[in-house]
Chains A and B, each alone.
Chain A
Amino acid sequence: MPALKSRAFGARDAGRSLAANGPSPLLALFLCAGLGLLLCAWINALSREGGDPSQVPYWIGVLLIVLPACYRLSLRDVSLRERFALVALLGLSLYAVKVVRDPFLFTFADEPIHAYNAEQVALHHGLFNENPILPVTSGYPGLASATSALMSLTGMSAFGAGVVLIAMARLLLVLSLFVLFTRVSGSHRVAGLAVVVYAGSSNFLYWGVQYSYESLSLPILIAVLAAFAEREVAAPSKVRAWAVPIVLGTLAIVVTHHLTSYALVIVLLALALVARFSGKPRPNPWPFVVFAAVAAVGWLLIAAESTVGYLGPVLEEAFTSTLHTVSGEAAPRALFQSSSPAAVSETPALARLVTLAAVGVLGLGFLAGFRRVWRMRRDRPYALLFCLGGAAFFASLALRFAPRAWETANRASEFLFIGLAFIVAYGALRLVRRGTRWAERKAALVAALGTIVVGGAIAGWPWDAQLAQPLRISAGGREIESEPVTLARWIGEYAPEHKFAAADADARMILAPGGARAKTGDALAVKTILPETELHDWELPLLHDHHVGYVVADRRRVATDAVRGSFFFVPGSEEEALLPIASVHKFAEVPLGRAYDSGTIVVFGLGDRP
């Protein structure tokens, strides 16, 4: 026993000596994050080489970014400034993981669509240009406006400007969360841990930092909520000062993203109601509720009428699908199954286990934290709201079993996770209260937070799409690009004024440079026409009547997959990977002129016929 004790003292002395002689903790954590990023970049590079590297080192890289920050943030004697810097480092480092995955072009499904909007602004010097794939986006020009500013002032493309813009949005998100949580909890230790828990949201690593309108509007929403929290406790003479950022942020959200603006109205309404019935003298946000509601509805009526037609069916389908699943009329959706026929591998058992463990840890953390928050903070409207949000998150998990509702649940989780993160952080702190086995419990906390972050990331993005795929590769000392990218560049140079019908991935690549237009999916029955082996009488006239100049016949089955279809074709089983040759020949038999042929992709001119 004495020997053990002296060894423990020795270890503590060594720790103190390291702390005194070692680098400052912030720089040491910066080094850890840099090494983690380097590891992620290395594994992505191996994957881009067309290999199939193990994902284990990649996740170790992510953990190298997350775990040291978790550990430091869980400590008691860390200054506010250091925690603030750590949170910023964590947010930006995890964003960099996405950047090193996609360093050349936007490849996520929504990104080329929004890049098109931004390029159109540069082309026409105005907003509200029609978007052929997602028309609703042209009614919300906030992202295109912000990107156009950076494009104009720097000369960069939408890709470069978008990467910089989303980096600032991500920085705003984590810092706003920290300020919001600090104000509501009164503890920057709780706030730092809550931000780490929020990084475990399934959309944090990838989806939430894609170049898309929600990636910009959500951080502004959280900043507005933080401003409200500050306003609540401000001296009466200073309350009005907070109105400027709140009003400015509200207007920016309204013109940037539909769902976020409605979420803002709902949250403010809930805050106003809680403030009204709490009976405590604090500034009620009802004037801002009215302002936000009028602005959102006004914008919907004036500039974004198509939103109703866009969101209505999605919500209706989610509702119907949930009813069918509950009543047993439809089979529940299998978890960890990609709906894409092009998904090449299933999520391994260990990864599934980590994800389920993350949900379990969140559940335990919520239960542990809820009691404490309820006892200590229930007089605060925000704390009540966070409790509700956390509980609603677990309710929304049930929707993930409904085939047409899981996406709605996934999107809602970004908002609900704000509340959940706050409550779970309180639960996490209970684990590291002073007492016996403190070091072990601290290690358990760091492991639990790591599980939450990795589990969330696995749940949020298809397993086979976590790593980069070959998009631009070197050959003979020069660079070559994938077939869809080369097609898009050819169109940009030689046929930018035309309209194309193409499969999902091809259409997005065609759009990204901002000149040519492309229709895909259900629009003009493109999804039906392209893969079939013979043409029907109505099909070409339909395309012709809608001024489609060219049709892109792509034999790759993966071309219908907007997440996986933009990369180099890696041959597997021919029958599984390619559509029948007749799907291309049907256009040649009309006969239509073949304007472009790169093997699996052939472009036919609808007007080019005898």
Chain B
Amino acid sequence: MRGHRDLERVTIAAVACALVATLLPWELVRLIAAVPLAVFLPGYAIVSASFASYRLDPQRLLVLVLACGLSVLCLGGIVLDAFPGGIRTLSWALLLVLVVVATARGAALRRPRATSASRSGARWSLPRLRTVDVVCGIAALAAVVGALALAYTPLPAGNASGYTALWMLPDDEGPADAVRIGVISAEHDSQAYRLRVGAGKGGKIATYRLELEPGEERVFRVPVPLQANRTSPIRVAASLYEEDRPRELYRRVTTWLPPGEGR
């Protein structure tokens, strides 16, 4: 690739982007590296290899770069799927770098001897911006950022029904018979509850009081005292009441614990 500065830059950029995308933990930084690595650099290298000395105008070049880059992404997974290890961060990074290096090498071999133009790379000149252009550009960017900020900001919706979810699952992790019970509040305001848990007919009922903020979840591990050597399944029921309406059942969940000796 020596003498073809664009190909050298593409190859170095691919390696750098792969390192950033695989090693850094920050999503946004990785995205900034991943998009060129995944689409633009392989696309450019493939187009360079296939067109060699044929100069494309910027419009056609960009279309082909995007088309080839996206096509490589569609097909790359199928290639990786066939290899042991499959589709992972490292395998994608290696594949894409390999595509870039191989096709850039192919482009360098197919191109005629480097001219001074290719050595120095394509000359890009930015249009001269006046103050009014800068102001207009900043205002446009501000409008776009404002639109995105507005879109990504959750807003209150008074007439949307708030709700509370109650759930219960057998606790498989504990040393004794127990259930896990969770209460998730998606109410509009802070809400106080009373949770009553009982096992079998006439069993002791445990009562819990809790107060949840909107979006908050509380999970309880509730031991279920059971008779040893029981012969029939036992029904465990959890009932949730709103504190200000103690007689009105709000939510109920149930589960059946199988017969056995208990754990």
B104 located at the interface, meaning its Cβ lies under 8 Å from any Cβ of chain A in the complex: no
Interface 0/1 of B141-162, CB less than 8 Å to A:
1111011101111111111111
State how many residues of chain B have any CB contact under 8 Å with chain A: 103
Report yes or no: A50 in contact with B159, Cβ–Cβ below 8 A: yes
Chain B, Cβ-Cβ closest to A35: B143
How far in angstroms is the closest Cβ of chain A from B1? 19
Q: Which of A244-252, A336-344, A514-522, A558-566 contacts B (4 or more CB under 8 A)?
A: A244-252
Kindly list chain A residues whose C-beta atoms are within 8 Å of the C-beta of B63: 172, 175-176, 179, 223, 226
**Is A437 part of the binding interface, using a Cβ–Cβ cutoff of 8 Å?**
no
Known A-B contacts A45-B150, A153-B21, A226-B63; the reply to A245 vs B47 at CB < 8 A is yes
- Least Cβ–Cβ distance between B170 and chain A, in angstroms: 9
The answer on a CB contact under 8 Å between A568 and B161 is yes
Interface of B, helix, strand, loop or mixed by DSSP: helix
Q: A335 near B: Cβ within 8 Å?
A: no
> Within 8 Å CB of A244, what residues of B?
46-47, 49-50, 68
A580 at the interface (CB under 8 A from B): no
A62 interface residue per 8 A CB criterion: no
Whether A255 pairs with B74 at a CB distance below 8 angstroms is yes
> CB distance A128 to B253 under 8 Å?
no
Residues of chain B within 8 A (CB-CB) of A591 are: 254
Q: Is A334 an interface residue (CB 8 A)?
A: no
Q: Does A74 contact B (CB under 8 A)?
A: no
A side interface size, CB within 8 A: 119
A154 cross-chain contacts in B, Cβ below 8 A: 21, 27, 30-31, 34
- The interface bits of chain B over 69-80 (1 if a CB of A lies within 8 angstroms of the residue's CB, else 0) are 011111111100
Q: List B69-94 residues whose CB lies under 8 Å from chain A.
A: 70-78, 81, 85-89, 92-93
Binds B, one of A201-209, A418-426, A470-478, A531-539: A470-478
Tell whether A287 is near chain B: CB-to-CB under 8 Å: no
Pair A23/B135 contact, Cβ less than 8 Å: yes
20 A-B residue pairs with Cβ-Cβ distance under 8 Å, sorted by A, are: A23-B136, A23-B137, A31-B137, A31-B140, A127-B77, A153-B33, A164-B31, A172-B67, A216-B74, A220-B71, A241-B50, A251-B74, A255-B78, A475-B215, A479-B154, A482-B160, A569-B160, A597-B166, A598-B164, A599-B161
Contact B89 A152 (CB under 8 A): yes
Q: A289–B24 Cα gap in the complex (Å)? A: 45
Q: A349 at interface (Cβ–Cβ under 8 A)?
A: no
Provide the residues of chain B in CB contact with A100, threshold 8 Å.
147-148, 150-151
Asked whether A610 and B160 contact (CB < 8 A) given A473-B155, A490-B165, the answer is no
Query: Does A436 make an interface contact (CB < 8 A)?
Result: no
- The 9 tightest CB contacts between A and B, nearest first, are A145-B77, A34-B143, A125-B86, A568-B160, A244-B50, A142-B74, A252-B71, A223-B67, A23-B136
Mark the stretch among B118-126, B183-191, B202-210, B220-228 that contacts chain A.
Answer: B183-191
Chain A residues within CB distance 8 Å of chain B: 21-24, 27-28, 30-31, 33-35, 37-38, 40-42, 44-45, 48-50, 80-81, 84, 96, 99-101, 103-104, 121-122, 124-128, 141-146, 148-150, 152-156, 160, 164-165, 168-169, 171-172, 175-176, 178-179, 182, 216, 219-220, 223-224, 226-227, 230, 238, 241-245, 248-249, 251-252, 255-256, 470, 472-476, 478-483, 486-487, 490, 494-495, 567-571, 591, 593-600, 603, 605, 608-610
| Cα distance, A44 to B149, chains bound together (Å) | 12
Give the residue name and chain of the B residue nearest to A481 (CB): B186
> In whole angstroms, how far apart are the Cα atoms of A162 and B154 in the complex?
21
The answer to whether A50 and B158 touch (CB under 8 A), given A145-B78, A598-B251, is: yes
Inter-subunit contact B70/A252 (CB<8 Å): yes
The answer for the CA separation of A599 and B166 in the assembled complex, in Å, is 9
The answer to whether the Cβ of B229 comes within 8 Å of any Cβ in the partner chain is: no
